Amino acid sequence: TQLLEQSPQFLSIQEGENLTVYCNSSSVFSSLQWYRQEPGEGPVLLVTVVTGGEVKKLKRLTFQFGDARKDSSLHITAAQPGDTGLYLCAGPDSGGYNKLIFGAGTRLAVHP
Amino acid sequence: NAGVMQNPRHLVRRRGQEARLRCSPMKGHSHVYWYRQLPEEGLKFMVYLQKENIIDESGMPKERFSAEFPKEGPSILRIQQVVRGDSAAYFCASSPAGLFNEQFFGPGTRLTVL
């Protein structure tokens, strides 16, 4: 069974700080997706990483896919209160290329 | 360009009643997925449908739950004889053909069973 483990589970920081959250697995994934979910809303797709070692940047967010395609990280530079939310990583189930397996998420709170 | 639409956003049912959740995919998307998010847990896959076909229902409980995606109209997730354990947020996602891993989610339906 493929699992995605995210760490830390909770993160509370001050505005302007940098942070990194992690998504790890013992299984290889063909791709990984990062979503952000705000209370009462659905997950919003931030990025998809496909190639081992790939780095993608989205403004102050930097996403990296591990060389072995078993892990990924999300780094936020100079966090802002608007970055507050639940960050989820997800990847396709190798047993069926249509369903996503989700990690439990990292809940980030950025205080002014 | 409208996103995935779900209704109702909130649904309250008493034990034993039926719940019907609706999902309209993004324009041009032919694949629909349903996920369930229990309190303090991650999203779990339930079912994957294309027009008039259930492709994968491996994550859906075998009893009381059913899903459809008719030729015309929205996808429906139906829960019969609801129990308190069915209380959760139910999310629908859609993707274009050939890009199953880029799934775009709706705002969800929050079901509360009294």
pLDDT one-digit tens code per residue, B30-58: 899 999 998 777 899 999 999 889 999 99
pLDDT higher than threshold 60 for residue B1: no
* pLDDT tens, position by position, B56-92: 999 999 999 999 999 889 999 999 999 999 999 999 9
Substitution target in A99, A100, A106, A107 with the highest count of B β-carbons within 10 Å is A99
Which of A43, A98, A101 shows the shortest C-beta gap to B100? A98
Q: What pLDDT does A71 receive?
A: 96
DSSP A67-106: TTSSEEEEEESS--GGG-EEEEEEEE-TT-TT-EEE---E
Q: Are residues A97 and B30 in contact, defined by beta-carbon separation less than 8 angstroms?
A: no
The answer to whether the CB atoms of B43 and A88 lie below 8 A apart is: yes
Which of B6, B59, B105 shows the shortest C-beta gap to A43? B105
Nearest Cα of chain B lies from the Cα of A42 at a distance, in angstroms, of: 4
Substitution target in A7, A100, A106 with the highest count of B β-carbons within 10 Å is A100
Q: How confident is the model at residue A97 (pLDDT cuts 50, 70, 90)?
A: low
Lowest mean pLDDT among A13-17, A96-100, B46-50: A96-100
